[in-house]
Amino acid sequence: MKESESEFLKKLLSTFKVEAADHIKVLSSGLIELEKITDAQKQSEIVEKVFREAHSLKGASRAVNISGIERICQSMENIFSSIKKKSTGISTELLDLLHNAVDTLKNILSGLESESPQSDKAGIDSIVYKLESYLKDDKQTASRKDILTKSPERKKVPVHSEAAAAGTVRVAVSKLDSLFLQAEEMVSTKLFLGQRAADLVAITSAANTWKKEWSKINSSLRSLQHTVEKDDQQNNPLVRSHLKKILEFTEWNNIHLRSLEDKISAAARAALHDQRAVSLMVDDLLGEAKRTLMFSFTSLLEIFPKFVRDLSRDQNKNVELEIEGAEIEIDRRILEEIKDPLIHLVRNCIDHGIESPDKRKQKKKPPVGKVKINVAQKNGDKVEITISDDGAGIDGEKIRSAVVKNKILQAEEAKKLTVQELHSLVFQTGISTSPIITDVSGRGLGLAIVREKVEKLGGNVSFDTELNTGTTFHIILPLTLATYRGLLVKVNELNFIIPITNIKQVVSVNKNEIRSVENRETIFLNGEVLSFVKMADALELSIKQQKNNSSDTFLAVVLSAGSKQAAFLVDEILHEQEVLVKGLGPQLSRVRNIAGAAVMGSGAVVPVLNIHDLIKSSLKVSPKVKGDTAAPKVKEENKKSVLVVEDSITARSLLKNILESSGYVVSTAVDGVDAFTQLRTGTFDIVISDVDMPRMNGFDLTAKIRADKKTAEIPVILVTALESREDKERGIDVGANAYIVKSSFDQGNLLGAIKRLL
């Protein structure tokens, strides 16, 4: 074969692969639709569509001599033709057979990707034999009642059509990626021009300062000339000659200074103009490049109907899938990375969530379970994906057992965890509520991997659940992985960039606000307890480089990654700017705490921090920010006893530490029931309680304390996040002596209130 003919056949085969993939997608989605629709007219339309797709695929495969695909398509055509003639009924068995045929087509097509493709002749012969035999078998009279599902119509994932393809061309994704990367590189040019323009503006400012100072000297020289001419009685020619030369130079200098000033000003104006023009062009170019690489979720979600069908069949469950928002577009790179997490979550919905038909019947639920995938635009530059089911929900007690079983916490510690704290542990490696390990789930790795992948993309994942009602997972993702804004900070004389998306706020922290909780430095901010860590320590920078801060206040950046937050002490905050993050290359593919690097307008390369790693690293840092804050020891017999009632273990530990360091003897309770039991059996001088707690809340506890003769006189302080006027009035009505809102919490206010009440 001539080389030119060989090259032509390669191109023809490459074109066929793309076309065949489209035909197979439509065949698969069409068969899924046939299972769900009961309307005869719509059934006929779908059969006609898949019939045409099979016919077109048969013709294309014949052109490139792929006989296996041609044979299967011919047999499928015969089936569809028989259905059109009403000679064959649509049954569950037939649909399963047709799905198997489509799977075989996919396998043949994937085999063509290898350099030496091997045809599975036995598999092709088998599926062709089954298809042809079905037409001759008596099962062709199967009635419509055999159809797998009889659910009402719903929105379907949009499928490929000739109309949708109109006005489009096929371009290799690799070429689009290359163009996009080149467009991204223009951002560096934009930053360089911005820096050059800023440099020229600074030079102009320096020239103006020079001009002002020079004018002062020029005036002094004129005065000196006048003085010399007046006092030079001897008419010294040498002095007059030197002075004349100086004055001539001064005049020349003035002229050239004005000329230089004009040129610098003109250059600065031109640089600013060029910088604005280039910035506009780069932004437009990059925006268009981004839009070119934005793909709709349709290309990802079209695999899920078949996936849900097969998995639910394997588990003997009836599950229907609903998809909304598939038309929303997102960066192709994100779309590729999020595929596995979505598959895992949908698998979890079916395996863990949706009950068997018998159990659903016992719970008086519809026999067919529902899984829903919804994609929605959020805040302009983000997208939210929700995956929900109407199954059994996640049992908090099973999580508690798994936590103890995997030795993450001791049994006593696990008992104190709130529902929210238990839910946050689901994403840890090794935590699974499945009673057994199967090929589908049970190893406790899936959700940990989901969170890791989502957070790596700059997103976060969370969920809410209700027993016997269902579970909904929420994934928030950026629309694109391109340039973003960063905050430039200085730590130990080194510059670092923090992604703006991970910054919650910047705060000034007083030394007295730093408390030690369970041997860790913490601060109380906006009703939450946060770890307080020197960023230099988290980054393990050399101690020799660290500067001592003699001030009583610290500058901290509060960072968040998913549900985790921490406050990091930095030396200086410089400014916010647009940055282009570049990878570190294969030699440094994974550097802890570093996500990449950015080239600044000055040419300097600055590390970009990986916030997820940084928060993990902060957990390994021992407290160094603050010295011992413990109050002078008080004789034990003179100490007042305090009962702290708080369901959050972190807030409970913080309050306990504050009070113990101030000389009080502290006992703790996890809710109102626990607290009242301790009050009946022990002696306390004051009660400090949260309001929103399980079993018995703070309002009910206070009312119960006032109603009991033994405890009626004990002062009660409510410390809560509830700050409405109605809540405060209710606190007064039930008999609370003080009501402190967590959002404005200050330990001085708490200690002052205790002193006034005791």
Q: What is the pLDDT of residues 582-627, one digit of tens each?
A: 777 666 766 788 888 887 777 778 888 888 888 888 877 755 444 4
**Please, are residues 602 and 195 in contact by the beta-carbon 8 Å criterion?**
yes
Measured from the Cβ of residue 682, the count of other Cβ atoms closer than 10 Å reads 10
For the chain, the domains span 3-153, 174-292, 296-394+433-478, 484-618, 636-757
377 phi and psi, to 5 degrees?
A: -70, 140
Backbone angles phi, psi at 569, to 5 degrees: -80, 130
Enumerate residues 6+ apart whose C-beta is below 8 A from 646.
652, 655, 668, 669, 670, 689, 690, 693, 719
Q: For residues 441, 445, 451 and 457, what is the CA-based torsion angle, rounded to 10 degrees?
A: -100
3-state class (DSSP) for residue 132: helix
Residue 167 has pLDDT above 60, yes or no: no
User: CA separation (Å) from 102 to 23, 301, 394, 629, 730?
Assistant: 10, 18, 36, 71, 65
Residue pLDDT, tens place only, 446-472: 677 788 788 778 788 888 888 889 999
- Residues of the chain with pLDDT > 70: what percent? 81
**433: confidence class by pLDDT, cuts 50, 70, 90:** low
CA atoms of 560 and 619, how far apart (whole Å): 14
Question: Which segments within 248-298 are labelled E, that is strand?
Answer: 294-296
Question: What is the percent of the chain with per-residue pLDDT over 90, rounded to a whole number?
Answer: 10
Cβ 625 vs Cβ 569: under 8 Å = yes
Please report the pLDDT score of residue 141 as a whole number.
Answer: 46
How far apart, in whole angstroms, are the C-alpha atoms of residue 722 and residue 743?
9
Query: What is the H or E stretch that residue 712 is in?
Result: none
Count Cβ atoms within 10 A of the Cβ of residue 659 and give its class: 0-12 exposed, 13-18 middle, 19 or more buried.
buried
Distance CA 494, CA 581 (A): 18
What is the CATH superfamily name and number for domain 636-757?
Response regulator (3.40.50.2300)
First to last CA, the chain: 101
Max mean pLDDT among 24-38, 202-216, 423-437 falls in: 24-38
User: Is residue 262 over pLDDT 50?
Assistant: yes
Question: In terms of Cα–Cα distance, which of 502, 485, 481 is closest to 579?
Answer: 485
Amino acid 441: pLDDT: 47
Enclosing H/E stretch for 566: strand 564-570
The secondary structure of 390-412 as a DSSP string is -S----HHHHHHHHHHTTSS-HH
Q: pLDDT-based confidence at 234, cuts 50/70/90?
A: low
Nearest CA-CA partner of 658 in 749, 555, 569: 749
Query: Which superfamily is assigned to 484-618 in CATH?
Result: CheA-289, Domain 4 (2.40.50.180)
Mean pLDDT across 563-580: 83
**Beta-bridge partner residues of 320:** 370
Residue 139 has pLDDT above 60, yes or no: no
More confidently predicted of 223 and 147: 223
- CA torsion sign for 277, 280, 283, 286 is negative
Pairing of strands 716-720, 686-689: parallel
- SS3 readout for 216-240: HHHHHHHHHHHHHHHHCCCCCHHHH
Check: CB of residue 492 under 8 Å from CB of residue 571.
Answer: yes
531 contact partners, CB below 8 Å, separation of at least 6: 520, 521, 522, 566, 567, 618, 619
**What confidence tier does 728 reach under pLDDT thresholds 50, 70, 90?**
confident
Residue 388 three-state SS:
strand
Which residue from 663, 657, 662, 660 is spatially nearest to 638, judged by alpha carbons? 663
- As a three-state string, the secondary structure of 15-43 is HHHHHHHHHHHHHHHHHHHHHHCCCHHHH
In this model, does residue 444 exceed pLDDT 50?
Answer: no
Band of the pLDDT at 295, cuts 50, 70, 90?
confident
Pull the structure tokens for residue 48. Answer: 């006609």
Residue 744 has pLDDT above 70, yes or no: no
Angle between helices 92-111 and 67-84 (to 10 degrees): 160
Q: Are 389 and 371 within 8 A, CB to CB?
A: yes
* Cβ atoms of residues 591 and 584 within 8 Å: yes
Q: Give the pLDDT score at 647.
A: 82
| pLDDT band, very low/low/confident/very high, at 146 (cuts 50, 70, 90) | very low
Q: Please report which confidence band the pLDDT of residue 346 belongs to, taking 50, 70 and 90 as the band edges.
A: very high
- The larger pLDDT score, comparing residue 687 to residue 587, is at 687
Residue 682 predicted with pLDDT over 60: yes
Q: Where do the H-state alpha helices sit in 488-575?
A: 535-538
For 81-104, how does the pLDDT look when each residue is reduced to its tens digit (9 = 90+)?
888 888 888 888 888 889 888 888
How far apart are the C-alpha atoms of 507 and 331, rounded to whole Å? 34
324 DSSP β-pair partners: 374
Asked whether residue 689 carries a pLDDT value surpassing 80, the answer given is yes
Spatial CA neighbour of 751 closest among 404, 515, 474: 515
| 142 pLDDT above the threshold of 50 | no
List, in order, residues 6 or more apart from 526 with CB less than 8 Å away. 742, 743
The span from the CA of 113 to the CA of 229, in Å, is: 98
Per-chain mean pLDDT for the chain? 78
286, pLDDT greater than 80: no
Q: Give the bridge partners for 741, in sequence order.
A: 720
User: Sign of the CA dihedral 77, 83, 85, 87?
Assistant: positive
> Do the beta carbons of residue 299 and residue 331 sit within 8 Å?
no
Query: CB burial class (10 A; 0-12, 13-18, 19+) of residue 529?
Result: buried
CA torsion 643-645-646-650 (nearest 10°) is 10
What is the C-alpha to C-alpha distance for residues 588 and 608, in angstroms, rounded to an integer? 14
Q: How many secondary structure helices (H) and strands (E) does the chain include?
A: 23, 24
HSE toward the beta carbon, residue 446, CA cutoff 13 A? 22
User: Angle at the Cα of 335 (from 331 to 339), degrees rounded to 5?
Assistant: 170
* Torsion of Cα atoms, 350 then 352 then 357 then 363, to 10°: -130
Q: What is the CATH code for 3-153?
A: 1.20.120.160
Cα–Cα distance, 607 to 599 (Å, whole number): 9
Per-residue pLDDT, 293 = 76
The model's confidence at residue 196, banded by pLDDT at 50, 70 and 90, is confident
Q: How far apart are CA 361 and CA 91, in angstroms?
A: 25
CATH topology of domain 296-394+433-478: Heat Shock Protein 90 (3.30.565)
- Contact (Cβ atoms closer than 8 angstroms) between residue 718 and residue 738: yes
Q: Which two tokens stand for residue 534?
A: 């020197």
Q: Around Cβ 152, how many Cβ atoms within 10 Å?
A: 8
Please check the confidence at residue 434 and state whether its pLDDT lies above 90. no
**pLDDT for the residue numbered 634:** 40
